[in-house]
Structure 1
Amino acid sequence: MNTFFNKRVLGAVCLFTFLFLLCFSGDSQVSALDRGTYKQLKVFSEVLDIVDKNYVEAVDSKKLIQGAINGMMKVLDPHSAFMTEEMYRELEVETKGSFGGIGIEITVLKDVLTVVSPIEDTPAFLAGVKAGDQIIKIDGQPTKDITIMEAVTKLRGPKDSKVTITIMRESLPKPKDIVITRAIIQIKSIKSRMLEDSIGYVRISSFQERTADDLKRALQELRGKQTSPLRGLVLDMRNNPGGLLTQSIEVSDAFLRAGTIVSTKGRIKSVESRAVAKDDGNEVNCPIVVLVNEGTASAAEIVSGALQDNGRALILGTQTFGKGSVQTVIPLEEGAALKLTTAKYYTPGGRSIQAEGITPDITVKYIKPAEENGEGNNAVRERDLKGHIKGVDNETKKPLELQKRVFDDVSQDNQLKAAVDILKSWDVFQGSRKI
């Protein structure tokens, strides 16, 4: 028997139990639950002891405990996860917008690793990876039962190294291997240009540390190119998987003079908050049309909901993803961390985004150009994820179509063309709307 192992494990379990009871000892309603939990922890320590004494091979206590924690997270929702020290470092790198990898947003759908969206101009995007692709192998190893954080670790790596993903797609007769050369993914979250008739276009592909500052610079450049004020602005957030909450608030504030941007509500008071717009005199004053689709998630949905509920923009496209939960990252000992869902986002009008998404003011389904015909529809939304947190019962949403790609050519992008047409006739359009 490994005495050191037993003392360390049982000591850790007892310490956890003590801290757990200490945190909630003042709440009589929780005390009964604590007693039940304590009994289960005794079972847990007993199982560890039995495994240590009887398993056919020597066991690694760290792996056993991490496996138990991973199992605990798996019974929650798809976005809660235990992160090893390496995984935690990867998360910190990702929020800075520069990392070695292939450039995709992934989730687990019905126990299968699935692509939510490839990030524009990255190796995965250029290799032809599509939203909805199912990744069944990474470098020949099956992805069954893999966690999102484990997959991220396998997919990322040094610049110029290669990784092979095996995908399944509705339009493909059999699985397909795609060899991708990793690169330093430096996400340029803002792209902008002038369209016709003094109408500006800003594309936000994700919400990173510099997104709000980059947006302000892009808006200044657009204004500088015009001798007259902007007639309108298209804010394109299609296939934007989200990112930092703080950046979504700052981006929303760039278009609002007053009003609530977003609020969060959870089981405990400490996670509740409300962000309010501030009038700094630099807000964009022209009419705005926001483009969204099923790949619009999280922080991008917060911006869409804030502009919609404050009557600041018209939302055009298809139903968004519906990722409206708040994850708090809690550092642990030895460099590990826990990413735990602690609250839900609510729009200024009190709507829950979770599993529902944002309903466009005008639904315009994406029409694929001839070169994209034949591709399957693999749309993925939050409500499809195993163990997703249910949202508040908002209105029933309509069936969805997946936009596969954003086109620079307005004539090739029917949703962008519709947005431009609305802005060109904004006064007439506003006069005909039902108030």
Structure 2
Amino acid sequence: MTSQLEIFNDLYRQLDQYYVDTLNPKKQIENAILYMLAQLDPYTVYYAQDQKEDLKQMTTGKYAGIGSVISYDKRLDRNIIREPYEGMPAAEAGLRPGDIILRIGDKEIGVCGKQDVAEYSSSISNALRGEPATSFQLVVKRPWVADSMTFKLTRRVVELPSVTYYGILADSVGYLSLNGYTEHTSRDVRLAFEDLKRKGAKRLMLDLRGNGGGLMMEAVNLVNLFLPRGYTVVSTKGKVKEEESSFKTRKEPWDTEIPLVVLTDFGTASAAEITSGALQDYDRAVIVGERTYGKGLVQQPRLLENGAMFKLTTSKYYIPSGRCIQAYEFENGMPKHLPDSLTKEFQTAAGRLVRDGGGINPDVNVKADSLPNFIDMLTISDALFDYVVKYRNTHDQIAPADEFHLTAAEYADFQAFVKEKKFTYDRGSSRMLDMLRKMAKLEGYAEVAKDEFKALEAKLSPDINYDFKRWEKEVRKLVETAIVASFYYEKGAILATLQEDKFIQEGLKVLCDDARYRSILAAPKKK
């Protein structure tokens, strides 16, 4: 290793001395570090000295600031308020999505210009953060409002809640949506479940979809709510003996009998997979949804010289049945799962068959709706965001989250707005046609089939009027949910989609059918 480091040092020394342009040592070395770590796995990550707060926020869910996502808007060449968090200083002061940041305190915020976008945005984010209880004035330009607006904000410790929503669904089913595992997650989940029980919940649904994980011990503590003391939840094994550990439930449980369904999807990862996997291995919950991500790696933060840090993968974790849920490899940063024919078989406590190969396979599969490229592109478009900003800034209030719907006139207005913004998209079928055309040319059939290709191309060209009509139900729900979120935050967005969520509906079917619930978790019948 020493000789390889000497080669690197000599190479950089000669680059610095002879390269035609002046180098930026900090940027060049950091890029080399980032590239090296990227070859290992997506989770071993370097944090420069000025990024350590980002790592702290990820693991604790806390930071001192105004409590809002900010983002760079290329069209404005400025940063905007993207998503104020409910109950935090930004939201309490009255900031809204789309507000353009003009001044922080006595510092004017100009356009990005030729600055690096990441550094420009980071400088604004750092200026908004600071010591708790310190106050400053923020000047913004609000779209659809003539004059600039000034807000007084007082920074405070912002703790992002893990529990985004909980409430009672049909048939005495308590529902809870969990978006991460930070400090006090298990405590907050217990308090929410206790409140649901007081309100009449006799069955529970824990929604871990899109939950990327976090602190491993919080997953252990959450499982402990439903399992007695002394049960092994997860074990870790690494290169060095110090990384080998076994983590058991340590406290008396909250409820070991209440029927429980856990919802999962491809976004369920890490600590969320420990929770769903352990509850499946002990036959304590029915897992409903999609196969999970497959992140079975454990990271530890380690300090470097000059105050930098990195998050280092030190071990793999194994759930009670003995399986490691880590995907067998990554391709373009995404996990690849083994087909069942190549996986190993394991058994739950009751003797049910489960497999490794990457992620947790649900007991009851739910296939997510397949949507066209039109919807996908519209979801992330500036046109949708701008329309929601316009709607929020031209309406003082709307109906409750679970009752709000666009009128026919408003849906027509949205269509006109999107067209005026020159929203563009391509159809998946058009891309497939291009591939077919290239294959025909390669095989010598392009000229023979020229007229057919031309006719098919005309039929498959994007027709926004057709797509707005064909996918009206889905577009309406997309726009309505985005508008509701701008008024009622994430909790409102969840409320707006509960009744039509097929994962939740399938979970209700399982929970409300006692015979089916018991049969799913029962030991297999001997042949």
Q: TM-score, normalised by structure 2?
A: 0.53
- 192-201 vs 64-73, which moves further: 64-73
Aligned match of 1:189? 162
CA–CA distance in 2 between the matches of 1:301 and 1:412? 25
Aligned match of 2:198? 224
Within 5 Å, which residues of 2 pair with 1:12-27?
none
The one-letter code sitting in structure 1 at the alignment partner of 2:219 is S
Within 5 Å, which residues of 2 pair with 1:226-241?
226=200, 230-241=201-212
Where 2:300 maps in the other structure, the secondary structure is strand
Aligned match of 1:40? 4
In the TM superposition, residue 87 of structure 1 has moved relative to its aligned partner by 1.3
Question: Residues 319-359 of structure 1, C-alpha deviation per residue, up to 9 Å, x if partnerless?
Answer: 11112211111011222002111111221112222121111
Aligned match of 1:358? 360
Structure 2, unmatched stretches of 5+, are 72-82, 91-95, 99-111, 130-137, 141-154, 328-357, 379-477, 482-492
Question: Residues 288-330 of structure 1, C-alpha deviation per residue, up to 9 Å, x if partnerless?
Answer: 1100011111111111111011111000001111122111110
Aligned match of 2:513? 425
Aligned match of 2:320? 348
The one-letter code sitting in structure 1 at the alignment partner of 2:204 is L
Aligned match of 1:32? none
CA–CA distance in 2 between the matches of 1:252 and 1:97? 20
Q: Is the 8 A contact 2:263 2:289 kept in 1?
A: yes
Larger radius of gyration, structure 1 or 2? Answer: 2
Within 5 Å, which residues of 2 pair with 1:15-164?
37-59=1-23, 61-99=25-63, 102=69, 153=122, 158=128
Aligned match of 2:296? 324
Aligned match of 2:179? 205
CA–CA distance in 1 between the matches of 2:369 and 2:281? 28
Q: Is the 8 A contact 2:58 2:214 kept in 1?
A: no
Residues 96/337 of structure 1: CA separation in 2 closer, same or farther (3 Å cut): same
Q: Is the 8 A contact 1:102 1:155 kept in 2?
A: no
Structure 1, unmatched stretches of 5+, are 1-36, 105-117, 129-138, 163-182, 379-403
Residues 279/95 of structure 1: CA separation in 2 closer, same or farther (3 Å cut): closer
In the TM superposition, residue 38 of structure 1 has moved relative to its aligned partner by 2.0
In the TM superposition, residue 427 of structure 1 has moved relative to its aligned partner by 3.3
The one-letter code sitting in structure 2 at the alignment partner of 1:102 is V
Question: Residues 214-269 of structure 1, C-alpha deviation per residue, up to 9 Å, x if partnerless?
Answer: 1111111112223xxx4311011111121111211111111111422111112222
Where 2:187 maps in the other structure, the secondary structure is helix
1:305 and 2:263 are equivalent in the alignment: no
Residues 236/152 of structure 1: CA separation in 2 closer, same or farther (3 Å cut): farther
In the TM superposition, residue 101 of structure 1 has moved relative to its aligned partner by 5.0
Q: Is the 8 A contact 1:256 1:278 kept in 2?
A: no
CA–CA distance in 2 between the matches of 1:307 and 1:151? 45
Residues 225/328 of structure 1: CA separation in 2 closer, same or farther (3 Å cut): same
Residues 423/377 of structure 1: CA separation in 2 closer, same or farther (3 Å cut): farther
- Aligned length, in residue pairs: 326
Q: Is the 8 A contact 1:293 1:317 kept in 2?
A: yes
In the TM superposition, residue 98 of structure 1 has moved relative to its aligned partner by 4.0
CA–CA distance in 1 between the matches of 2:256 and 2:121? 37
The one-letter code sitting in structure 2 at the alignment partner of 1:200 is G
The one-letter code sitting in structure 1 at the alignment partner of 2:510 is I
Residues 347/233 of structure 1: CA separation in 2 closer, same or farther (3 Å cut): same
1:249 and 2:220 are equivalent in the alignment: yes
Q: Is the 8 A contact 1:294 1:319 kept in 2?
A: yes
Aligned match of 1:381? none
Aligned match of 2:237? 265
Residues 313/140 of structure 1: CA separation in 2 closer, same or farther (3 Å cut): farther
CA–CA distance in 1 between the matches of 2:510 and 2:375? 29
Where 1:250 maps in the other structure, the secondary structure is helix
Q: Is the 8 A contact 2:226 2:253 kept in 1?
A: no
Where 1:102 maps in the other structure, the secondary structure is strand
Q: Identify, as 1 or 2, the structure richer in helix.
A: 2
In the TM superposition, residue 71 of structure 1 has moved relative to its aligned partner by 3.1
The one-letter code sitting in structure 1 at the alignment partner of 2:257 is N
Which of 474, 499, 515 aligns to 1:411? It is 499
Q: TM-score, normalised by structure 1?
A: 0.64
The one-letter code sitting in structure 1 at the alignment partner of 2:160 is I
Percent identity between the aligned chains? Answer: 33
CA–CA distance in 2 between the matches of 1:430 and 1:152? 53
The one-letter code sitting in structure 2 at the alignment partner of 1:289 is V
CA–CA distance in 1 between the matches of 2:113 and 2:365? 41
Aligned match of 2:404? none
Question: Residues 49-85 of structure 1, C-alpha deviation per residue, up to 9 Å, x if partnerless?
Answer: 3223323355454444434323321222121122101
- What RMSD in Å do the two structures reach over aligned CA positions? 4.1
The one-letter code sitting in structure 2 at the alignment partner of 1:209 is E
Q: Which has the higher contact order (CA 8 A, sep 6+)?
A: 1
1:295 and 2:267 are equivalent in the alignment: yes
CA–CA distance in 1 between the matches of 2:120 and 2:508? 40
List structure 1 segments (4+ residues) > 6 angstroms apart after TM superposition. 118-123, 139-143, 149-152, 159-162
